[in-house]
Amino acid sequence: MTIISHRYEFVYLFDVANGNPNGDPDAGNLPRLDPETNRGLVTDVSLKRKIRNFVTLDKEGAPGYAIYMQEKAILNQQHQKAWEALSISPDAKDGYKKLPKDEAKAREITAWMCHNFFDVRTFGAVMTTGVNAGQVRGPVQMAFASSIEPVLPLEVSITRMAVTTEKEAESQSGDNRTMGRKHILPYGLYRAHGFVSAKLAERTGFSEDDLQLLWQALINMFEHDRSAARGEMAARKLIIFEHDHPMGNAPAHVLFDAVKVERTGDTDPPARSFADYRVSIDRTALPPAGVIVKELL
């Protein structure tokens, strides 16, 4: 596989309609908010989770595309697979707690994890728990997504017609309805920034194929993440800045500032669709050479 040789940044726009894009467990699963601005937030962890889930579905069983950080995964067992696959024996005193003193063998263990787990070579991982497999900085990082405008969470009452036990059914005298609450946003357009480092890719083996899979995941991951809380989420724009040098040709913030998201109308009623916004790229603000702009959506 060919390791990427160019640096990238990207602007990612996605929206939600009548749903909860990222509930906050510390606030009763309300949509996450910046309390000072009331702009919605979606964590980088949430977005990476969806990328992992897409890769799991798209590359199911394919060598080199296992997912390290998955639900109910026992991480020490994941680490031990590397030791066993390379036939490296644990230290007589420290066992698996420390990497082998032979640096070549230690690097082999970490490299095995990068080669076999897509998310390790993409996002990096700290694998220094009870079974030590080293740690790596991933070439792909994402920031929190923030809504373009303030959002207004709604609490919607819902009913359930069924009950869970016979005792509960009897106590309700034939009325099986129970009440619940559901938190939604009528509409929100979110913007996230991402970074891809060619120099860090050299350390993990992140390849051109992996990069294309990342773009594919960002475009399609919401199509396979439907739920009662996230029925209508969609990727709307993926704007990629490709540098012709592995160290880059311009600061990331300069490129991000060139992407403008504005309301289309002269008045400002609450936005209810992506059509209420206009996305533009100020190409005069970009460097005259060394950076290519691509729009995949």
| Full pLDDT tens readout for the chain, 297 residues | 799 999 999 999 999 999 999 999 988 889 999 999 999 999 999 999 999 999 999 999 899 999 999 888 899 999 999 999 999 988 878 889 999 989 999 999 999 999 999 999 999 999 998 899 999 999 999 999 999 999 999 888 777 777 777 776 666 555 556 677 788 999 999 999 999 999 999 999 999 999 999 999 999 999 999 888 887 999 999 999 999 999 999 999 999 999 999 999 766 789 999 999 999 999 999 998 999 999 998
Helix 103-116 to helix 75-85 angle, to the nearest 10 degrees?
A: 120
Query: Is there a contact between 12 and 217 (Cβ–Cβ < 8 Å)?
Result: no
Q: Measure the CA–CA gap between 211 and 288, rounded to whole angstroms.
A: 25
Which pLDDT belongs to residue 71? Answer: 85
Q: Measure the CA–CA gap between 198 and 3, rounded to whole angstroms.
A: 8
Neighbours of 67 (CB within 10 A): 18
CA distances, 288 to each of 26, 197, 246, 255 (Å):
47, 21, 18, 12
Q: Measure the CA–CA gap between 246 and 8, rounded to whole angstroms.
A: 9
- At residue 234, φ and ψ (nearest 5 deg) are -150, 140
Give this prediction's pTM.
0.91
Query: Is there a contact between 32 and 22 (Cβ–Cβ < 8 Å)?
Result: yes
Query: Is there a contact between 233 and 16 (Cβ–Cβ < 8 Å)?
Result: yes
E strands within the chain?
8-19, 23-24, 30-31, 39-42, 124-128, 132-137, 140-142, 145-150, 154-160, 178-196, 233-243, 259-263, 277-281, 291-295
Give Cα 25 to chain centroid, integer Å: 18
Neighbours of 27 (CB within 10 A): 12
Cross-strand pairs, 191: 13, 146
